[in-house]
Amino acid sequence: NAGVTQTPKFQVLKTGQSMTLQCAQDMNHEYMSWYRQDPGMGLRLIHYSVGAGITDQGEVPNGYNVSRSTTEDFPLRLLSAAPSQTSVYFCASSRLDRSSYEQYFGPGTRLTVT
């Protein structure tokens, strides 16, 4: 099992450009989510999905879009990149377990917007 994979590992964008961060998992997990991590702020939830065709907003959704057409894939789209979106982005997946929602994280994508 590869677990949760993310591509690319590093990316530099100019302000106004768009791009898609890829995330895939091979554990047949229903729940997938995207977080951003900034110094001193832990991880903040951007969007999440409880299954194919179902997505919802997290704590900081503005400027990001998601879709979930398959169980395995959950791409994150930046519509018009801004310097405030410079961050490290993590994708995570888990089973839909009512007691815990233990999450498995990918290795992250480090994004810089100039």
Nearer to another protein, 35 or 85 (CB): 35
Q: Give the nearer residue to another protein in terms of CB position, either 13 or 32.
A: 32
Smallest distance, Å, CB 48 to another protein? 6
Closest CA to 103 of 21, 20, 19, 35: 35
- 5 neighbors 109 (Cβ within 8 angstroms): no
Nearest approach, Cβ of residue 70 and another protein (Å) = 19
Under the rule (CB under 8 A), what is the footprint of another protein?
4, 31, 33, 35, 40-45, 48, 50, 58-59, 90, 92, 94, 96, 98-108
Tell me whether residue 108 or residue 113 sits nearer to another protein (CB atom).
108
Separation between Cα atoms, residue 67 and residue 52, nearest integer Å: 8
- At closest approach, how far in Å is the CB of 16 from another protein? 28
Query: Minimum distance from CB of 100 to another protein (Å)?
Result: 5
Q: What is the spatial distance between Cα 19 and Cα 32, in angstroms, rounded to a whole number?
A: 19
Handedness of CA 5, 7, 9, 13 (dihedral sign): negative
Pick 17 or 61: Cβ nearer another protein: 61
Q: Which of 78, 86, 76 is nearest to 114 (CA)?
A: 86
